[in-house]
Amino acid sequence: MTAPNALTIAQARDALRAGDITAPELTEACLTAIDGAGALNAVVHGTPDIARAQAEAAQTRIRAGMAPDLCGIPLGIKDLFCTRGVASQAGSRILEGFVPEYESTVTRQLLESGAVMLGKLNMDEFAMGSSNETSVYGAAVNPWKVDDRKLTPGGSSGGSAAAVAANLCLGATGTDTGGSIRQPAAFTGTVGIKPTYGRCSRWGIVAFASSLDQAGPMTRDVRDAAIMLRAMSGHDPADSTSADIHVPDFEAALTGDIRGKVIGIPREYRMDGMPQDIEDLWTRGREMLRDAGAEIRDITLPHTKYALPTYYVIAPAEASSNLARYDGVRFGHRATLAAGDGITEMYEKTRAEGFGDEVKRRVMVGTYVLSAGFYDAYYNRARRVRTLIKRDFETVFADGVDAILTPTTPSAAFGLGEMADADPVAMYLNDVFTVTVNLAGLPGISVPAGLDRAGLPLGLQLIGRPWEEAELLSIAHSLERAAQFVAKPTRWW
């Protein structure tokens, strides 16, 4: 029998309802797995006491019958979500000691549906990074390993990806501003979906770039993503950008029938120097969807090459504004001041001590592109190009394309420290296939679809129409079944 902590959410739900396992047993199995996985550095604030109490309460609900899908399911929560009474640091020194007095809407919804919180998960500082190396806790480590090197689980939701892949939890929350759910999912052989902008409330999630940020689930398969996404979604009066749109039963939409669906293959995603493994995976993905009855169509998204530069104006601009709140006054770190220091010195020293290098870099780039004289040339121009990027997608969807297939990342997981001397732009290229989706506000999912020659997982990305997560998940489910990705990391930790 599968170890309890290695079950999928759907399997555990069914076993809990059938009485084959209890919620406390399931939670205990995960807590034991976490205790044995310190080397992965995935869980940064464990909450075993809370988890045990929640598991007991969940068991009572399960016994009474009619428990929601997630009742008794142990989850990990990205450190970016504010959780009442539990440290929420966004992977930053500047929020050291911060204990929210409130619960984010997404985690509140998960807890109300009976989910068990095992702890807070590692991430890049303020979700700015693609390797988890900007975290104040040190990098989370990928459970996948093919030689002596320790590999990145990706970022920014690297702790979430590592925890799900290593069976420390059954699912985890992530957030995605430029690829932060999908890239780590691809690097760890897991599934991650970024829903349509506005599907999940952003209230109580530490803000990075508000027009791009979305929460989403990270799970072991597509069915689990469907189950978890439904519980995370819905309108919230506390987030004016959350959409008052019906949330369907995403799991019920997994019909496995994609006959007649039109899958677009964007020619601009074929990049110079793309590794052969990625090229081959993409070809196999096309074949799998065609064999399942979909129509494969070549499409063009002409402004694709401008997506990353657009993102690296808009995201830092919004970050510089959002992160202005970290000033040492209302919460978090305040620098020790010298005699005679005034309030400006307090701000400058606090932010110099509290922010890491990548966060400082982005806040300052954002400050620059918003400053007098450069606002039009950088920020307004980027917002115009963003309109064109979104229009590219609208055009192909209007022509009848149901979803778009691309690789998730331009490479498999790389070694921790390997990018240390590279210029910041080299790291940004990780998001080249994912960032367009955030700029256009679309749903996107990464599905593990194969291994590269070295034996590391690779993901394929499907991009859907706005609000059509149900259809997107159904296509992803078909791809998943065809790919039959069953490889798991061998335990070394």
Partner 1 sequence: MSIDEGTARRVASLARIRVEDDAIPALAADFTAILGFVEQLSEVDVDGVEPMTSVTPQRLKRRDDVVTDGGQQAAVLANAPDAREGFFAVPKVVE
Which residues are known catalytic residues?
78, 156, 180
Full DSSP string of 305-349? GGHHHHHHHHHHHHHHHHGGG-SSSSSS--PPPPTT--HHHHHHH
For residue 189, give the nearest of 481, 486, 434 by alpha carbon. 486
DSSP code of 4? G
Among 6, 53, 99, 271, binds partner 1 (CB under 8 A): 99
Provide, rounded to whole angstroms, the least separation between the CB of residue 361 and partner 1: 6
* Alpha-carbon gap, residue 442 to 433, rounded angstroms: 13
Provide, rounded to whole angstroms, the least separation between the CB of residue 50 and partner 1: 19
Q: Which residues of 361-379 are buried (b: 16+ CB within 10 A; e: fewer)?
A: ebbebbbebbeeeeeeebb
Provide, rounded to whole angstroms, the least separation between the CB of residue 93 and partner 1: 13
What's the token pair of residue 337? 């001041």
Residue whose structure tokens are 């990205």: 78
411 binds partner 1 (CB under 8 A): no
Considering only the stretches 155-163, 165-173, 179-187, 301-309, report the one whose residues sit in contact with partner 1 under the rule CB under 8 A. Answer: 301-309
394 binds partner 1 (CB under 8 A): no
Nearer to partner 1 among residue 420 and residue 486 (C-beta): 420
* Count of residues that bind partner 1 according to CB under 8 A: 74
Provide, rounded to whole angstroms, the least separation between the CB of residue 82 and partner 1: 11
241 binds partner 1 (CB under 8 A): yes
Using CB under 8 A as the criterion, what x/- string covers residues 305-324 for binding partner 1? xx-xxx-xx------x---x
Full DSSP string of 63-96? HHS---TTTT-EEEEETTB-BTTB---TT-GGGT
Considering only the stretches 45-53, 139-147, 195-203, 291-299, report the one whose residues sit in contact with partner 1 under the rule CB under 8 A. Answer: 195-203
Provide, rounded to whole angstroms, the least separation between the CB of residue 242 and partner 1: 9
Instruction: Tell me which residues in 464-483 interact with partner 1 (CB under 8 A).
Output: 466
* Alpha-carbon gap, residue 382 to 388, rounded angstroms: 10
* Alpha-carbon gap, residue 436 to 88, rounded angstroms: 29
Residue 112: which residues within 8 A CB-CB, separation 6 or more? none
Helix (H) or strand (E) run with residue 297 in it: strand 295-299
Distance of CA 4 to the CA centre of its chain: 24
Provide, rounded to whole angstroms, the least separation between the CB of residue 436 and partner 1: 12
337 binds partner 1 (CB under 8 A): yes
Nearer to partner 1 among residue 39 and residue 425 (C-beta): 425
Among 114, 158, 159, 198, binds partner 1 (CB under 8 A): 198
60 binds partner 1 (CB under 8 A): no
Provide, rounded to whole angstroms, the least separation between the CB of residue 194 and partner 1: 13
Among 260, 273, 342, 373, binds partner 1 (CB under 8 A): 342
Among 2, 380, 484, 490, binds partner 1 (CB under 8 A): 380
- Is residue 124 within 8 A of residue 91, CB to CB? The reply is yes
Nearer to partner 1 among residue 17 and residue 361 (C-beta): 361
Instruction: Tell me which residues in 423-462 interact with partner 1 (CB under 8 A).
Output: 423-425, 428, 439-441
* Alpha-carbon gap, residue 338 to 335, rounded angstroms: 9
232 binds partner 1 (CB under 8 A): no
101 binds partner 1 (CB under 8 A): yes
